[in-house]
Structure 1
Amino acid sequence: MKKYLHIVIIEDEAATARNLEYILKEINPEIQIVKTLPSIAEAVDWFRLNNSVYNLIFSDIRLSDGLSFEIFRQVSIKKPVIFVTAYNDYAIEAFRNNGIDYVLKPFDGEEIQRTLLKYDTLIADDSKNGQDKTEFLLKELQYTTRQYKKSFLIHYCGRLIPVDAAKINWFHTANEIVYAHMADGRQYVMEYTLEQLEHELDPTLFFRANRQFIINKNSVDAVEYFFNGRLLVKIHPLPQEQILVSKAKAMHFRKWLDQ
């Protein structure tokens, strides 16, 4: 891994930007975060004046004032970009805007370390020109773009029944058992952990609210402000426990709902 790496972060969620910076420094204390840019407008202004003081960009795609691709249309940026986003429907366009990798939120240190190693491998290989790298990444995308579960085959009353994932209102874990809850009040025992489901489910439809719950956007009735910056989520059918979203996740949750 390159010892001296100067990185720009484009991210409108301050908590996510801080988390990414922390992970990067944990991986390599020599990494320098040159600038964190929260919007298209600020990024365009900054890159016009500072287009040679960094090696790599980590960029969200959906920002508060539009898609980050607009930055690359307004400013000529030659440095590679790693896109970090909750959505996988922009992968092709990302690779056509200097993208060398595409990391889906929520990310962890292992994923960030993997993408930095990929950066080292691709950038160090001077035998590949820009077009070659783009073609290579587009081919690789066919194998790496995540495919989400559309249905589950569930054991129920001595039978196997298919259940449409989109019709599951929420998942809940209790006593190390995960249950899927339907709109009519039925519940099924799942052969998955919440951690496994978090990676199997479409993040545009499902959100990991906390350690106990993953909720379907279509089941949300209302959101109330709660003590200490948390959010109280009201869903149907109503669970026995309150569903609280932490202060750290609150902005991401609100952005997820407001799509």
Structure 2
Amino acid sequence: MTVIRIIVVEDEAATARSLIHILNESGENLTIVKTLSSVSGAVTWFNDNLGSYDLIFMDIRLADGLSFDIFKQTAISRPVIFVTAFNDYAISAFKNNGIDYILKPFDPDEIRNALDKYKNWTGAAERPGGPALADLLAQLGNLTRSYKKSFLVHYRDKLIPLETAKIAWFYTANEVVHLRTTDDKQYVLESTMEQLEQQLDPVLFLRVSRQFILNRNAVIEAEFYFNGRLLVKIKPQPHEHVIISKAKSAEFKKWMNS
């Protein structure tokens, strides 16, 4: 039986481990060749390893940009299964065009179905009946430029619309997402941080840690912290420190300086 050589492109280590676990438990004869976590790292690896893989599982939003940028800098002709938190209409667009699309959090049955779809293709270098990859990427690029203008939140017995620009930051604890507005009001949001990353304009919002997504207008200053990290002061002030890792600090500084 032919071994399916798989590349995983995902910047969240826990998410990558979850996907790899499900793949290994799928019962298919496969091997994980490489896990990549950034656009720049993926471009370098794909340029140096042409033809050494069969299938790619790829997140759309990575730490240093959109994964679409990878295709602009290297030639990838193997099938790609995108895995991300995105809107339902985008999922339909992918499936209608012959490339599978799996929504986070992962459903093992969806991943098994995607592997079955891959096996039914006549060759790994092409997708019968699908459009050119460049056309699909152009379509997806248009989809990603549509960001949420407001969120509907529950408060007591009311539904309140909140303008996205007036949200200072999002915070997650115990798998519950909270948001704080610029006028210091807090609400619980029925969403995940991964979904928010796809829905928010990256010019205005950045996920600076596993716990926080910040509005750039809420940032007061950043102090150098231990071991190359940054301590960020924001308004309104949360109950705990906002600390950016050394690996994430370069992206944060670029974001604030753009």
One fold, TM greater than 0.5?
Answer: yes
- 1:124 corresponds in structure 2 to 120
Question: Gaps (5+ residues) in structure 1?
Answer: none
Change (3 A) 1:175 1:116: closer
Matched letter for residue 40 of structure 1: V
Task: Note the C-alpha offset of 1:80.
Answer: 0.7
Aligned in 2, Cα 1:42/1:78: closer, same or farther, shift over 3 Å?
A: closer
1:69 CA displacement: 0.7
CA distance in 2, matches of 1:26, 1:168: 36
The reply to whether residue 258 of structure 1 matches residue 257 of structure 2 is no
The answer as to whether partners of 1:43 and 1:71 remain within 8 angstroms in 2 is no
Using structure 2 for the length normalisation, give the TM-score: 0.59
Native 8 Å contact 1:224 1:233 kept in 2 = yes
- AA in 1 matched with 2:209: A
Query: Is 1:186–2:184 an aligned residue pair?
Result: yes
SS at match of 2:117: helix
Residue in 1 aligned with 2:46?
43
Contact 1:149 1:200 in 2 (8 A): no
How many pairs were matched up? 227
Matches within 5 A, 1:5-16: 5-9=4-8, 16=12
After superposition, residues 1-259 of structure 1 pair within 5 angstroms as 4-9=3-8, 16=12, 20=16, 23-28=19-24, 31-36=30-35, 38-47=41-50, 51=51, 53-59=52-58, 67-72=69-74, 75=75, 77-83=76-82, 100-102=99-101, 108=105, 110=106, 114-115=110-111, 117-124=113-120, 126=122, 130-134=127-131, 149-154=148-153, 161-172=160-171, 180-183=179-182, 185-190=183-188, 192-193=189-190, 195-196=191-192, 198-200=194-196, 202-203=199-200, 204=202, 205-207=205-207, 209-211=209-211, 213-227=212-226, 231-245=230-244, 247=245, 251-252=247-248, 254-255=250-251, 258-259=254-255
Deviation string 1:233-254 (CA, Å, 9 cap, x unpaired) is 2212223432234x5xx63575
Q: Is the 8 A contact 1:25 1:31 kept in 2?
A: no
Deviations 1:49-87 (A, max 9, x none): xx1x42212346668699211344xx4x44212345789
Q: State the alpha-carbon separation in 2 of the partners of residues 156 and 22 from structure 1.
A: 34
1:177-212 deviations in Å (ceiling 9; x for gaps): 8654332x331434x35x54652562432527344x
Q: What CA distance in whole angstroms lies between the structure 1 residues aligned with 2:13 and 2:116?
A: 22
Check the 8 A contact 1:153/1:160 in 2, yes or no.
Answer: yes
Identity of aligned residues (%): 34
Q: Is this contact kept in 1: 2:230–2:243, CA < 8 A? A: yes
CA distance in 2, matches of 1:130, 1:174: 41
Residue type of the partner of 2:46?
A
Q: Identify if the C-alpha distance between structure 1 residues 83 and 23 changes in structure 2 by more than 3 Å, giving closer, same or farther.
A: closer
CA distance, structure 1, for counterparts of residue 6 and residue 238 of structure 2: 44
> TM-score, normalization: structure 1?
0.59
Give the aligned CA root-mean-square deviation in angstroms.
5.0
Taking the aligned partners of 2:83 and 2:176, their CA distance within structure 1 comes to 31
The offset of 1:113, in angstroms, is 6.5
Describe the SS at the equivalent of 2:232.
strand
Is contact 1:122–1:133 with CA below 8 Å preserved after alignment? no
CA contact (8 A) 1:172 1:214 kept: yes
* CA–CA separation in structure 1 for the residues paired with 2:254 and 2:19: 28
